[in-house]
Amino acid sequence: MQNISAIFKKEFKTYFLSPIAYIFITVYLITTTFLFFQGFFLINQADMRGYFDLLPWVFLFFVPAITMRSWAEEKKVKTLELLLTWPVSDVEVVMGKFLASFALLAIVVLLSISIPVTIAIIGHPDGGQIVGQYLGALLMGAAYLAIGLWVSSMTENQIVAFIVGVVVTFVLFIISTPFITMVLPSFAAPLFAYVGLGSHFESISRGVIDSRDIVYYLSVIGFFLFLNVCSLGSRKWE
């Protein structure tokens, strides 16, 4: 545990040592708040549905921006070779990095608390629904993070890590949208609908937390973190 926490602290601090975290927080809050309030008064409903409908698309670009550096930079500067000769297991390094990126994402997402507060002042939103939506958003964000980290672990170029991260997440997101499932043969459609990231966010954006969606997101996180551990382990292959 000391190892995971040491790596977590170091990674988390690193986000704030460079301008990354500050730029990220500012741009994220401005973009999402603007996009949300653009439509909010037209719809004239005191809920955050519109906000959480946006998130999958916003995360698509913001999450790979958090994770692109994690492994790519260590590979490029060769600190990975040093880190992996210290008494720490590959799993611990992966967990430390994942938790640190999750902590940053959680801070950013929770900083948007000004929006529900504003809504509560001007209307009567359903508090339980908003809490559910936030939890769901964090779960989905964590899944995106796991994907982004895995992509970053396979390259030493941050730009490549970012772009491929966006593409992989995008593909995983759209395969479950009706746009794609409509044209698929009938036996494959439910499979794609289940595997895709998108279908599991629909109920969440309504504030309904279904255990099936939780299981799904945890599996995605587990699967991509596992792939990440494998890609670190690949140095040991012949």
Partner 1 sequence: MSPTNDSVMLEVKDLNKNFGNVHAVRNLTFEVRKGEVLGFLGPNGAGKTTTMRIITCFIPASSGTVKVSGMDTVQNDLEVRKRIGYLPENNPLYLDMTVDEYLKFAGEIRGLKGAQLTNRIHDMFQVCGLAKMANRQIGKLSKGYKQRVGLAQAMLHNPDLLILDEPMSGLDPNQIIEIRQLIKKMGEEKTVIYCSHILSEVAATCNRILIINDGAIVASGTPDELTAGASKTSGYMLKVKGDKASVQAKLSAIPGITGVTVQESGEWLEATITSGKEDVGEKIYKCVSENGWSLAELKRHSASLEDVFTQLTRG
Instruction: Note whether 115 and 48 are within 8 A (CB).
Output: yes
Give yes or no for residue 89 binding partner 1 (CB under 8 A). yes
| Cα–Cα dist 83/167, whole Å | 29
**Residue numbers 95-154 binding partner 1 by CB under 8 A:** none
Whichever of 85 and 186 has its CB closer to partner 1, that residue is: 85
> Tokens 């966006």, residue?
166
| Cα–Cα dist 53/136, whole Å | 12
Size of the site for partner 1 (CB under 8 A): 25
Give yes or no for residue 10 binding partner 1 (CB under 8 A). yes
Give yes or no for residue 23 binding partner 1 (CB under 8 A). no
Out of 79, 113, 114, 222, the only residue in the binding site for partner 1 (CB under 8 A) is 79
| Cα–Cα dist 173/60, whole Å | 9
Out of 54, 58, 60, 88, the only residue in the binding site for partner 1 (CB under 8 A) is 88
Q: Is the dihedral of CA 119, 125, 131, 133 positive or negative?
A: negative
Whichever of 104 and 164 has its CB closer to partner 1, that residue is: 104
Max distance between CA atoms of the chain, in angstroms, equals 63
Interface positions with partner 1 (CB under 8 A):
2-3, 5-7, 9-10, 13-14, 17-18, 77-79, 81-82, 84-89, 235-236, 238
